[in-house]
Amino acid sequence: MSSHQHRQDREELRELLLQYNNLKAGRGHSFIEEDGFERIIDHFDDKEQFNLALEAVDFALERYPYSAMMLIRKADLLISLRRYHEALNILNEAEIFDNQDTSLYILRTDAFLALDMQEKAAELLEDAIQKFEGDEKVDLLFELADVYDDYENFEKVFDCLKVILEIDPANEEALYKICFWTDFTGRNEESIRLHQQIIEEFPYNELAWFNLGAAYQGLKLYEKAIDAYQYAVAIDEKFDFAYRNMGDAFIKLRKFKEAIEVLEKVLELAMPENVIYEAIGHCYDRLGNFAQARFHYKKASHMDPEDSQLHFKIACTYMNEESWANAIKILEVALKVHKMQPEYNLAMGKCYMALGNFEEAISYLGIVVRVRPKNSRGWIEMLKCFYVGEMFEEGLQYTYFALEHLESKPIFHYYKSLFLFALGKSREALASLESGMNSNPKLIRQFLELNPTFLQHQQVIEIIARHKKKKLK
Mean pLDDT of 13-39: 76
**φ/ψ of residue 31, rounded to 5:** -120, 125
DSSP-derived letter for residue 304 is -
pLDDT at 472 over 60: no
Check residue 28 and give its pLDDT. Answer: 58
* Segment among 31-35, 166-170, 274-278 with least mean pLDDT: 31-35
List helix spans (H) across 202-322.
206-218, 222-235, 240-252, 256-269, 274-286, 290-303, 308-320
pLDDT at 1 over 60: no
Q: Cα 237 to chain center, whole Å?
A: 25
The CA distances from residue 30 to 24, 60, 218, 468, in Å, are 10, 12, 65, 108
* Segment among 15-24, 25-34, 305-314, 441-450 with least mean pLDDT: 25-34
Check residue 468 and give its pLDDT. Answer: 73
pLDDT tens figures, 224-266: 999 999 999 999 999 999 999 999 999 999 999 999 999 999 9
The CA distances from residue 472 to 438, 442, 464, 467, in Å, are 15, 14, 13, 9
* Segment among 113-122, 253-262, 268-277 with least mean pLDDT: 113-122
DSSP codes joined into one string, 352-416: HHHTT-HHHHHHHHHHHHHH-TT-HHHHHHHHHHHHHTT-HHHHHHHHHHHHHHTTS-HHHHHHH
Cβ-proximal residues to 84 (8 Å cutoff; 6+ apart), any chain: 78, 111, 114, 115
pLDDT at 441 over 70: yes
pLDDT tens figures, 360-402: 999 999 999 999 999 999 999 999 999 999 999 999 999 999 9
Please return the burial class of 14, using the count of CB atoms within 10 Å of its CB with bins 0-12, 13-18 and 19+: exposed
Mean pLDDT of 17-40: 76
Band the pLDDT of 471: cuts 50, 70, 90.
low
Q: Which residues of 410-436 are buried (b: 16+ CB within 10 A; e: fewer)?
A: bbbbbbbbbbbbbeeeeeebbebbebb
Asked whether 122 and 148 are in contact (CB, 8 A), the reply is yes
Please return the burial class of 445, using the count of CB atoms within 10 Å of its CB with bins 0-12, 13-18 and 19+: exposed
Check residue 2 and give its pLDDT. Answer: 57
Cα gap 360→325, rounded to integer Å: 13
pLDDT tens figures, 89-104: 988 888 888 878 888 8
pLDDT at 53 over 60: yes
Averaged confidence pLDDT in the chain: 91
Mean pLDDT of 110-116: 89
Check residue 417 and give its pLDDT. Answer: 94
Check residue 439 and give its pLDDT. Answer: 87
Check residue 16 and give its pLDDT. Answer: 77
pLDDT at 416 over 70: yes
pLDDT at 173 over 60: yes
Run of H or E residues at 336: helix 324-337
Asked whether 185 and 155 are in contact (CB, 8 A), the reply is yes
Secondary structure class of 325 (helix, strand, coil): helix
CB half-sphere exposure, 243, CA atoms < 13 A? 22
Run of H or E residues at 181: helix 172-185
